[in-house]
């Protein structure tokens, strides 16, 4: 995809990157990405043995990662160093996902104040929303 270069703005190593491919990006405003659960992710061995299930906190992390990509792509603002997830509000885990699932992550920047960025996002399996959250990112 043409936006895959944007994934390099994430501070995470590939082992902790939960966006496989960018689907769309409106710089500084919104975007969508996908992640395919392979079943080879090491933490799935313990979550849960015999029936690996994608953790809800990782769904929230994927919203934060996409929010970071969107925020860092904003041409009206300089990029922030050391961007981190600093708060989670209104998080709801509405469903489950298993190995083989292709997740769609969508996020929108709702507001910026200095080095604080509020993002609202969802995670879906096909057309079914399985997580949503409003998160705050910050950087220096």
Please state the domain count of the chain: 1
- The DSSP line for 73-109 is T-TTS---SS-EEEEEEEEEE-----TT-EEEEEEEE
What is the per-residue pLDDT across 111-133, written as a single tens digit (0 to 9) for each? 999 999 999 999 999 989 999 99
pLDDT at 1 over 60: no
Query: Is residue 5 packed enough to be buried (19+ CB in 10 Å), middle (13-18) or exposed (0-12)?
Result: exposed
CATH classification at residue 44: 3.10.129.10
- The DSSP line for 33-79 is EEEE--S--GGGGTSSTTS----HHHHHHHHHHHHHHHHHT-TTS--
Domain that holds residue 59: 4-138
Asked about 77 being catalytic, the answer comes back as no
Q: What pLDDT is recorded for position 2?
A: 58
What is the per-residue pLDDT across 11-56, written as a single tens digit (0 to 9) for each? 888 889 999 999 999 999 999 999 999 999 999 999 998 999 999 9
Active-site annotation holder among 1, 3, 17, 47:
47
């Amino acid at each position: 995809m043409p936006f895959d270069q944007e994934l390099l703005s994430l501070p995470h190593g590939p082992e902790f990157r939960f966006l496989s491919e960018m689907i769309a990006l409106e710089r500084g405003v919104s975007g969508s990405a996908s992640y395919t659960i392979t079943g080879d992710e090491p933490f799935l061995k313990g979550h849960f043995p015999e029936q690996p299930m994608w953790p809800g906190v990782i769904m929230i992390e994927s919203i934060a990662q996409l929010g970071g990509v969107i925020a860092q792509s904003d041409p009206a603002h300089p990029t922030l160093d050391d961007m981190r997830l600093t708060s989670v509000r209104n998080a709801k885990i509405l469903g489950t996902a298993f190995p083989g699932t292709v997740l769609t992550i969508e996020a929108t920047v709702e507001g910026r104040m200095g080095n604080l960025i509020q993002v609202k996002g969802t995670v879906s399996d096909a057309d079914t929303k399985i997580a949503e959250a409003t998160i705050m990112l910050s950087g220096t």
